[in-house]
A = this chain, B = another copy of it.
């Protein structure tokens, strides 16, 4: 299956953060930027801030994978530790903001981030205009909002499907309820997909996402393995979920999606410690 029909593209994933940081006015950017995130957003904010020549303060939970912390440091970000809870992350980010005067760049609930993420669709459709379906991981909804808005502006018939882990299925529940649903707790290997929709991303998701595919953790691990063994790329659980979704019965056996024939999967995030990847294959 992979052997004949797969084309891989590397798209620079810093679109969201670069757009956010470069669109700040000089007085907004003067004291740097702060964000709370341990994943791609953290690394991208660090890089974008470095390119603009301003400091980046990155609040990272103590339990984050080592490679994520190293990414931030590699790109020049200042690491500030928090506890794992969203409350701790947000309150420490707020402290940093007060102390430094840095500008808060929210990881997803920010129009600049959303529109920057849209550049993924621009690059994708410029190179492969025949794409009829795009599968995107969903967490806070920034990535999928940008991808959906940009793709549907170019071709309103493009189908946008979200992939979400069973143990953090707030987007599927939100779509069913017609309003933002949050969960008392989440439980999934996909550590980058534990956030809930925001007030900016929710209306976009509600109106422009055509379906949510719920994926089991074991299928996410299998997708990671396929990415490593066949595509030869390191993809973290949160990034591999789109492939798991495409291979699921939920997708393949849904009559409404039978006509999907040129499917793009966004594999976003390669922040997986090699030892952890190896262990997950041996469980």
Query: A interface vs B, CB < 8 Å?
Result: 3-4, 8-10, 47, 50-51, 67, 70, 74-75, 228-230, 232-235, 270, 274-275, 277-278, 281
Q: Which A-B residue pairs are the 3 nearest by beta carbons?
A: A232-B270, A232-B234, A8-B10
Q: Which residue of B lies closest to A70 (CB)?
A: B229
Chain B residue numbers with a CB within 8 Å of A8 are 10
Q: For A281, list chain B residues within 8 Å (CB).
A: 274
Q: How many copies does the complex hold?
A: 2
A277 → chain B closest CB, angstroms:
7
Q: Which residues of the other chain, B, contact A235 by a CB distance below 8 angstroms?
A: 232
Q: Which residues of B contact A278 (CB under 8 A)?
A: 274-275, 278
CB < 8 Å: which of B3, B275, B277 contacts A47? B3
Q: Which residues of B contact A274 (CB under 8 A)?
A: 228-229, 274, 277-278, 281
A46 CA / B229 CA spacing, docked (Å):
17
Question: How far, in Å, is A198 (CB) from chain B's closest CB?
Answer: 28
A219 CB to nearest chain B CB (Å):
19
Which residues on B sit within 8 Å (CB–CB) of A232?
A: 233-235, 270
Residue of B nearest to A225 (CB): B274
Given contacts A9-B10, A274-B277, contact A3 B75 (CB under 8 A): yes
Show 27 residue pairs from A and B whose CB-CB distance is below 8 angstroms, ordered by the A residue.
A3-B47, A3-B50, A3-B74, A3-B75, A4-B51, A8-B10, A9-B10, A10-B10, A67-B229, A70-B229, A74-B230, A228-B234, A228-B274, A229-B274, A232-B233, A232-B234, A232-B235, A232-B270, A233-B233, A233-B234, A234-B234, A274-B274, A274-B277, A274-B278, A274-B281, A275-B278, A278-B278
A232, closest chain B residue (CB): B270
